[in-house]
Amino acid sequence: MKPFKTEKYTDFTKAVNRKKMEKAIAHVESQFGKEYSIIIGGKRIRLDNKFHSYNPSKKGEIIGTFQKADEQAAEQAMQVALETFESWRYTPAKTRASYLFKMANIMRRRRFELNAWMVLEEGKNWLEADADVAEAIDFCDYYAHEALRYDKGPNLYKFPGEINRQVYIPLGVGIVIPPWNFPLAILAGMTTAAFVSGNTVILKPSSDSPGIAAMFMEIVEEAKVPVGVVNFLTGPGAIAGDYLVRHPKTRFVAFTGSKPVGLRIVEQAGKTQPGQIWIKRVVAEMGGKDLIIVDSEADIDSAVAGVRTAAFSFQGQKCSACSRLILDDKIYDEFMKKFIPTVEAIKVGPVSEYDNYVGPVINESAYDSILEYIKIGKSEGNCVCGGESAPGDGWFIRPTVIVDIERQHRIFQEEIFGPVLGVTRARNFDHAIELANDSEYGLTGAVYTKNKKKIEKAKREVFVGNLYINRKCTGALVGIQPFGGFNMSGTDSKAGGPDYLMLFTQAKAITEYIGRKRKIRKKPVRKSKK
C-alpha cells in the first residue's frame, strides 16, 4: 500500500488537457435533461414529485430531473440502512478501506467528466472544478489510510495480569447533508468518512447540486460498495432532511452549509425522541466571515495576489473566502493602487469557456441576496470596483470591492457568500487583530507580514480554526491542513485531519484479566560441611 499523497492538479496550460476538458463538457451537455432516481438498498426508485437542477450560466437550462423524496422514502431508507448496518459494522477495516481506494481510482479515471459536471451545474471555473475533484480523491485515499490506522487502536500502558485495548466501533446510521459549493469534495469526504468507519449512510445532497451527487453514487456502485451502505435521497431538506434529523434511530448528522440551517439541525438533533437511546452526534461546518490582514511590513505584491484569489475564486462562494480585508493604514494606498486593477481585469462569464475566471453565482435567490448586500455596502462605505450585475444569460455579478467599512457595518459582520470584499483600515497590527476577532465566526484567516514577532502574535491571538501566514486563506489540503472553525463556523470538526474519523466512531476500552504469574522462590542449596 502506497503512503498517502495529495493529488496533483491538472495543467490546463497544456493543449491536450484543454481538449480533454472541452470534450468532457460537450459529453455532459449531451446528457442534459435526463431523469435520475433515488437509490435505496441498491434499488432505483421514481416518485410522483420531481424537481430540476439548472445551469446557473444559462437561466432556465435544465441539467437534469430529480426525485423529491418524501417522509415515506426517508423511512424506507432508514430501515434499509439499519438492516445493512448489522452486517457492515463487522466488515473488516481493510475491506472497508479497499472500497475507498477503488473509488479514488475511479475518480481519477473519470476526472474530466466530473470536472465538467461542476463547471456546468455549479459554475466553477476549470481550475476550481479540478481542485474539487482532486480533493475528493484525497479524501477517499486519506480516510482509507486513517481507517487502517484507527483499526490498530492507540498504544496503552501495560498493566500486570491484564491485556488492555481500546477499539473504535461505528455509531450506526448517519445522515450526511453536504453543500452545493463543494459538491463532490465535501460530499465525498463526509460520506466516505462515515461508511469507512463502519456506519451506514443516508446521503441527502443539496438541491442545487444533485447531478454531481448522482455521479458520486455511480462511483459508489462501480466500486461495488455493498448495497444499503450508502442510500441516496434527493429533494428539499424540509421534507426528508428534517424527518431524518429528528428520527429516533438516527445516530449522527454530518452537515456542511449555512449557519441558520446548521443551528436548526443542532436544535432538532438535541431533542430526544421516543425510543431514542443515545445522544445524537452532530458534525457541523457552518461558514465564515473570513479575513486577511495585510501588515505594514508585508510583501505587498504577494498579498495582492493572495487576496484577489481568496476573495473572488468561485465567485466568493467558499466558506473560507476572504470577505474582510484589513489593511494597515501605512500601506493602504500602495496596496489598493496595485489591487484594484487586478480585480478589474477579472473576466466574468460562462465558465464552460476556459478564459472566464469568475462565473455565475449559484441561483436567483443568491443573486438577489448578493445584490441587496452590495446596496447595503454602498450605503455604509464606498464602492470602488464592480457593484453591479455582469452581462450574460446567467446569474453573473462583477467582483465588488467596497472601502471605508467599519466594524459595526453589516458588510463587516454578515456572511454574504458572493464576490463582495469589504476593506477596513487598521491603525496598527494590534488594532488589525482586534478587528479580525470582532466576528461571531471563526473559520479561516490569513496574515501577511515579514515581522517574526508579529507572526508569533498572530499565531497566539487571531481566533480562527485555520490560520495562514503569508498566503491566502483558502485552499486547505487534505492531510496537511485539517479544516474546521470556531464559534458559529461550526464544531471545529477538522475534516481531512487525524481526529476526523473519531467523530464517526465511539471508543470501547476492553480489559481481559489473564492472572499474574507467581514467582517461585528457589530454596537455597545448603553446602555440605566436610
> Can you give the CATH number for the domain in which 310 is found?
3.40.309.10
For the cut 50, the answer to whether the pLDDT of residue 93 exceeds it is yes
Q: Are residues 294 and 282 in the same domain?
A: no
| Partners of 401 in the β-ladder | 385, 421
Q: How many angstroms separate the CA atoms of 334 and 154, rounded?
A: 53
Rounded mean pLDDT, 85-93: 98
Is 141 inside a domain boundary? yes
Hey, what's the cell of 326?
484589513
Check 122, 135, 285, 415 and give the catalytic one.
Answer: 285
Same domain, 166 and 62: yes
346, amino acid identity: I
Task: Convert the pLDDT of each residue in 112-164 to its tens digit.
Answer: 999 999 999 999 999 999 999 999 999 999 999 999 999 999 999 999 999 99
Q: What are phi and psi of 388, to 5 degrees?
A: -160, 170
pLDDT tens for residues 310-343?
999 999 999 999 999 999 999 999 999 999 999 9
Do 178 and 229 belong to one domain?
Answer: yes
**Are residues 177 and 262 both part of a single domain?**
yes
Q: Give catalytic status of residue 285 as yes or no.
A: yes
* 69, part of any domain: yes
What are the beta bridge partners of residue 426? Answer: 328
Quote the pLDDT of residue 526.
63
Which residue among 140, 319, 322, 473 is the active-site one?
319
Dihedral pair phi/psi, residue 403, rounded to 5°: -105, 175
Mean per-residue pLDDT of the chain: 96
Tens digits of residue pLDDT in 54-72? 999 999 999 999 999 999 9
Question: Tell me: the pLDDT tens digits for 457-502?
Answer: 999 999 999 999 999 999 999 999 999 999 999 999 999 999 999 9
Residues 203 and 352 in one domain: no
In a domain, 475, yes or no: no
Tens-place pLDDT, residues 404-431: 999 999 999 999 999 999 999 999 999 9
Given a contact cutoff of 8 angstroms between Cβ atoms, the answer to whether 463 and 291 are in contact is: no
Q: What is the 3-state secondary structure (H, E, C) of 365-424?
A: HHHHHHHHHHHHHHHHCEEEECCCECCCCCCCECCEEEECCCCCCHHHHCCCCCCEEEEE
Please check the confidence at residue 530 and state whether its pLDDT lies above 50.
no
Q: What is the rounded average pLDDT of the residues 296-304?
A: 98
What pLDDT band is residue 525 in, cutting at 50, 70 and 90?
A: low
Within-domain flag for 327 = yes
Sign of CA dihedral 253, 258, 262, 264: negative
Give the pTM: 0.95
Q: Is 522's pLDDT higher than 70?
A: no
158 lies in the same domain as 233? yes
Q: Give CA–CA dist 509/153, Å, rounded.
A: 10
Calculate mean pLDDT across residues 358-368. Answer: 98
Domain contains 94: yes
Domain annotation covers residue 114: yes
> Are residues 354 and 280 part of one domain?
no
Tally of helices (H runs) and strands (E runs) in the chain: 15, 21
HSE-up of residue 337 (Cα within 13 Å, Cβ side): 5
User: Is residue 377 located within the same domain as residue 500?
Assistant: no
CA dihedral over 408, 410, 415, 420, signed as positive or negative? negative
Is 169 domain-assigned?
Answer: yes
Identify which of 394, 344, 341, 343 has the alpha carbon closest to the alpha carbon of residue 367.
394
In a domain, 457, yes or no: yes
pLDDT at 14: 97
For residue 238, name the pLDDT band (cuts at 50, 70, 90).
Answer: confident
Cell 486563506, residue? 473
CATH number, position 66: 3.40.605.10
Can you name the residues that pair with 448 across neighbouring β-strands?
294
Residue 529 has pLDDT above 60, yes or no: no
Model confidence band, residue 520 (pLDDT cutoffs 50, 70, 90): low
Give the integer Cα–Cα distance in Å for 127 and 17: 12
- pLDDT exceeds cutoff 80 at 523: no
Residues in Cβ contact with 52 at an 8 Å cutoff, skipping those fewer than 6 apart: 62, 63, 64, 65, 66
Concatenated DSSP letters of 68-137: ---HHHHHHHHHHHHHHHHHHTTS-HHHHHHHHHHHHHHHHHTHHHHHHHHHHHH---HHHHHHHHHHHH
* pLDDT confidence of residue 338: 98
The answer on 296 and 431 residing in a single domain is yes
Q: Are 56 and 390 in contact (CB under 8 A)?
A: no
Same domain, 410 and 326: yes
pLDDT surpasses 60 at 260:
yes
Range of the domain at 37: 15-286+490-511
431 and 503 part of one domain:
no
User: Looking at the 3D structure of the chain, how many domains does it have?
Assistant: 2
Does 173 have pLDDT greater than 90? yes
pLDDT over 70 percentage in the chain: 97
Give the per-residue pLDDT at 234.
Answer: 97
User: Closest by alpha carbon to 327, among 295, 291, 289, 302?
Assistant: 295
pLDDT of res. 319: 95
Domain match, 496 and 358 both:
no
Cα-atom radius of gyration of the chain, to the nearest Å? 26
Evaluate if residue 517 carries a pLDDT over 80.
Answer: no
